Amino acid sequence: MASPDADRIRRRASVISRHLSRWVPPAATRTLNVSACVQYSPPESSEKLGFDVGEMRRVMDGHDVEARDWAYRIMEESPLFWSPRRRPEGRVFMIPDYNQPMEHQREMTMRRIMYLKERGMYDGWLTGGRETEMRRFALLESAGLFDHSLSVKTGVHFFLWGLAIRYLGTKYHHDKWLKDSENLSVKGCFAMTELGHGSNVRGIETIATYDSSAGEFIINTPCESAQKYWIGGAACKPHYNLCSAAYTRKNQGVHAFAARIRDDDGNVCPNIRIADCGHKIGLNGVDNGRIWFDNLRVPRQNLLNSVCDVLPDGQYVSVIEDPDQRFAAFLAPLTFGRTSIIASAVYSSKVALSIAIRYALTRRAFSIEPNGPEVPLLDYPTHQRRLLPLVAKTNFISFFQVCYELCGRLHKADVCGEDPEMNKAIHIYSSAFKASMTWHNMRTLQECREACGGQGLKTENRVGVHKGEFDVQSTFEGDNNILMQQVSKALLAEYITAQRRRKPFKGLGLEHMNDPSPVIPANLTSSVVRSIQFQTDMLRLRERDLLGRLAKEISDHQARGKERSMLSSCYQVSEELGRAFSDLAVLQTLVEAEMAATDGPVKEVLGLLRTTYALIIIEEDASFLRYGFLTPGGATVVRKEVGALCGELRPHALSIVTSFGIPPSLLSPLAFDWVEANSWPAVDIP
């Protein structure tokens, strides 16, 4: 009797035999079709520029286009900026070597800064007049396209240290430090953040007392949580530190003192301790440091006193009586740094999108028809949906001119705080835009990294490594979530004031609140949702409704005796309101730019970008459905229209990223002949 195992073996052998007997070998004449090797073809060979990219660039950059191009040229002329890898096609890229140790990256950052100084980039940055304001921003943005560390290190010295001296200081401070700071014979940093306090500046623990017998302030770090932390540029080079400390006499609040922390030879001064913050996930070209003050004595004259002063006998005087307005005046000059972050985030997104779009126009995958050619990635609707709405949202054009113009008014005023309304507007716009732009940049970098596939992981292709380099923007110069709450708090104050005084809204773009609430059509069509009227009404309706909801929630908390936690308890509506304010402000500037453009192809593309921007905002924000601003049927119409707009933007994709004005040397190998860049000859070249 056969065993069960033997029976199973015979059955399996029989099945295999029957299977093989049915197999018919292919005809001898049939051959395997071998595809030709992938060949790179530049996108310019198949894509036509549909409009004047120079005209579009002038609209987007907004100012100082020639100065930007000059900055690109002088960087290209120096090997300090060249990528360590040579290319077989002879192309030179300007890419920092992120593989070098932290100390080497810091040294290279400083060498580049000194080179740019010798070429005259920083001339007039601290001593020039009104005409240098916008040029300074443009040049910093251009340097930041090369390396975020270069931008931050430069910004700390000129925007935080230098401009604080200029606007918070008076003639004594200007004569003593401005010229030497401009030519970098004096190097400075700005110490506000502490281990225990970041966004809550009022809570900093570093203290300053006044010794009237010596005419000196005594600055002290009373506990470990009071150590100054993440101070950009503090670890290695600066001679001076602008220290923020709480003046203890009658609790007068936070003030700024210029304190010497190193001598001319670079040695740390007595009563000062400095430590390195160490290696970071990015931005390792900046020497972030920690500082302790051990009863450091600072001359009375080193108090920056444009807003307030301490007389020799210790008497405290100020041109601003209200302590809140005085505190706002103290923070106002810091907006220069925050505004530079906004622009840096926008240009980082432009670099990433330029690389990802160019790659998507030349990288092919799969064919639609049998034996047909493979299709460029950007011809797939899914890829368009990933990248083109981000292109539209990155075309913020020069809307951060709002911040620039406010900063210009600050320059013209010369004395911080003489216009509290101006200080408030500066703070609100810069806070809202800083949060929304830096969040947008991180999302863009991630999407572009994924859209570039494995190539996006390579450091030399820039997109992936920029995620680590720019991540810090979400928290420095103010945590984004806190900034959005501050925006909502300011809008709420305007709302309550207008209601109590029964006066119309004025300022911060709230004038639309004086008009009747917009009425959204019940049946939405393609032509309706593409109209400026619909888009503006939707974003205004959202801001109006959220502001009213926040006021009601706050009122309800007050009625329940929960005033201390009322704003934080309403955090969801508060953050939604902050985003609504920012989105509406951007849309209004997009509309203004479109209306100002001459009829023609540029204006038509601006209209497509504006419509895509507005509809993607409406589609992505759940509050439009949550609070009934949009019906489910209307949401379906908007979603369908976004897909159609992506298809209409597709022919203009190369033209749009070209109009960003970024020179080829500041992109990456992936944006050009990526086959040649990864070829064997490229490996052999040292």
By annotation, the residues acting in catalysis are 477
Question: DSSP characters for 604-623?
Answer: HHHHHHHHHHHHHHHHH-TH
Residues 410 and 307 sit within 8 Å (Cβ to Cβ): no
549: number of Cβ within 10 Å: 18
The number of CA neighbours under 13 Å toward the Cβ of 272 is: 24
**Beta carbons within 8 Å of 552's beta carbon, 6+ residues apart:** none
614: number of Cβ within 10 Å: 27
| Phi, psi angle pair for 220, to nearest 5° | -140, 145
Q: How far apart are CA 204 and CA 206, in angstroms?
A: 6
Residue keyed to tokens 């004395």: 415
Residues 369 and 462 sit within 8 Å (Cβ to Cβ): no
**Beta carbons within 8 Å of 187's beta carbon, 6+ residues apart:** 157, 181, 233, 237, 238, 239, 240
Residue 162 annotated as binding? no
User: C-alpha distances in angstroms, 510 versus 216, 492, 498, 507?
Assistant: 47, 11, 11, 6
Residue 193 annotated as binding? yes
How distant is the alpha carbon of residue 290 from its chain centre?
Answer: 25
| Phi, psi angle pair for 188, to nearest 5° | -130, 165
**Beta carbons within 8 Å of 315's beta carbon, 6+ residues apart:** none
The number of CA neighbours under 13 Å toward the Cβ of 117 is: 18
Residue keyed to tokens 């970024």: 662
Closest CA to 147 of 462, 456, 426: 462
**Beta carbons within 8 Å of 269's beta carbon, 6+ residues apart:** 260, 261, 262, 263, 296
3-state secondary structure 349-386: HHHHHHHHHHHHHHCEEEECCCCCCEEEHHHCHHHHHH
Q: How far apart are CA 622 and CA 634, in angstroms?
A: 13
Residues 232 and 189 sit within 8 Å (Cβ to Cβ): yes
User: C-alpha distances in angstroms, 67 versus 140, 394, 555, 660?
Assistant: 11, 22, 52, 15
Residues 34 and 371 sit within 8 Å (Cβ to Cβ): no
Residue keyed to tokens 């270069």: 150
What is the maximal distance between C-alpha atoms in the chain? 118
| Phi, psi angle pair for 246, to nearest 5° | -85, 120
Angle at 621 between CA 616 and CA 622, to 5 degrees: 135
**Distance in angstroms between the alpha carbons of the first and the last residue of the chain:** 75
SS3 category, 310: strand
SS3 category, 427: helix
Two tokens, residue 592: 């203004």
Q: Which residues are annotated as a binding site?
A: 193, 232
- Known binding residues for FAD are 193, 232
